[in-house]
Structure 1
């Protein structure tokens, strides 16, 4: 299964030395900054598509080595290709958000959220910290680093002010919002996400490169409309937090199945039982229901809508 990259957006949206690889799930988008000195890639996709990510970058750079790798945050769909890129270009230096640097260097899967969500990510190393309030040189541009808590408490935005390009990670999509992970573990609520949306509005980018979906710009009010939709969704979650838990549980299960594609039912049940985040979501959504009854409630619509399928004694991703 490949992530089906395709041309992202009209060339006029981005400077000619920036190239976006729009990826299908599971991988995040990647922004390649071309340069004679410091070609760089922002976000690296999922481990499942790591070889494809390397091939995309190699095709764009030819014989030129990749010099720098940076990450908006360290969920597995945004950093899973980093190890393969480092193996292909050992001289590349790697930046991660400041608060994540020690966790990467120690490769602490619990601190990096992989343990809690039951997801996988190939290990990689990091040399440098993305510090909010500072800038980082990626390609031939200086990018501002902004803290962007919400979807991930440690996430950052990268903003290139000369051309108004914002790499938003999962802080902003054109349609919808991602799971608010800090709410799952109880470390924060939904307000930091709303604050990050306010920051984006203040930055007033000319073009947004989201973590998923094609880049979009100011034309036709697309950025303002996206901000409005995201705020409506966050307001809804603030009013109905149990609905966020329901949404998050379905996303985590579907995400896992997109990765593995097929699991024996016993292995599927074991994975469900071993993912701490699902236990937390059970308590947030329907603590009145026993675990097995809650799982049945969550899984039924996934099977009914074809997101998952049964094939004998196996559970299969429905595509």
Structure 2
């Protein structure tokens, strides 16, 4: 499915995929994973690189599961880091609010970016020419990388095989996420693609089916904003539970009312009391099989 100059290190939650592109004895990495997985990320990269040098690390967008390992990877390999132009100022100031770290109660180690990536520039990576394309929606400053000659797209969280990432701008931001995500999916649909390398999950060739599923998901959210809020709360809380492994049930209502994402999503779309929100969330996660209740605690399964 992929040319020999590309290797995908498919990661499970909490980390985004690490995508290596080889050019002779040097390599470029797309996205570095979550900070608590940083040591494992470095070990995986050492094995995959062999005698090659990692010279560049590029990020598709600013979320913690994509940038969290940047500092550790740069320390280990001495590579330069490039980030989307729209997040460059937030990275330079290490603005945890702008990077959504505070809002979602997630972590990332501060790092310094060496350059900013802008839509429309061409990058030689993995023996191919890639164009950077704007991909707002999940992250309003996100970029994707398109190799037209090979029909490849590195899509970050703009398109997965079964959907796309949380539309944070709709849940806690400006409210422009739905329209931006639709425009991004339409732009992806106009590309000639043979394979998509997503930020999460395996590379896939069922591009038309993935786009159709993504548009259905957008339609579903547009019909009722509460659906989008519930999806965001479930996904972000599951991320936290996978990181911490357990949480005391009696602390959950206060926690949900303290973290900006949960509090604002509930205020804007659901209007539940903290106890009711916590009760709904626990029931949802247990029903889905991602958590279990035991001795007044909620555990990740």
TM over 0.5: yes
Contact 2:253 2:274 in 1 (8 A): no
Moved more, 36-45 or 99-108: 36-45
Residue 303 in 1 paired to residue 286 in 2?
yes
Contact 1:33 1:41 in 2 (8 A): yes
Encode CA deviations 1:110-164: one digit per residue, 9 max, x unaligned: 1101011111112222111110111234344332111100111111111122212
The Cα shift of 1:261 comes to: 1.3
Long gaps (5+) in structure 1? 1-12
Task: Report the RMSD for the aligned CA atoms in angstroms.
Answer: 1.7
Matched with 2:146 is 159
Long gaps (5+) in structure 2? none
Matched with 1:195 is 183
The Cα shift of 1:236 comes to: 0.9
Matched with 1:249 is 233
Report the TM-score, using the length of structure 1 for normalisation: 0.89
Contact 2:168 2:177 in 1 (8 A): no
Residue 231 in 1 paired to residue 227 in 2?
no
Separation in 2 of the partners of 1:120 and 1:269? 21
The Cα shift of 1:283 comes to: 1.5
Contact 1:185 1:277 in 2 (8 A): yes
* From 34, 52, 72, the counterpart of 1:46: 34
Q: What's the secondary structure of 2:23's corresponding residue? A: coil
Report the TM-score, using the length of structure 2 for normalisation: 0.94
Q: How does 1:150-299 map to 2 (within 5 A)?
A: 150-187=137-174, 188-217=176-205, 222-265=206-249, 268-287=252-271, 289-299=272-282
Separation in 2 of the partners of 1:317 and 1:133? 42
Contact 1:43 1:70 in 2 (8 A): yes
Q: What's the secondary structure of 2:136's corresponding residue? A: coil
Aligned residues: 300
Encode CA deviations 1:83-110: one digit per residue, 9 max, x unaligned: 11011012x1101110111111111111
The Cα shift of 1:252 comes to: 1.0
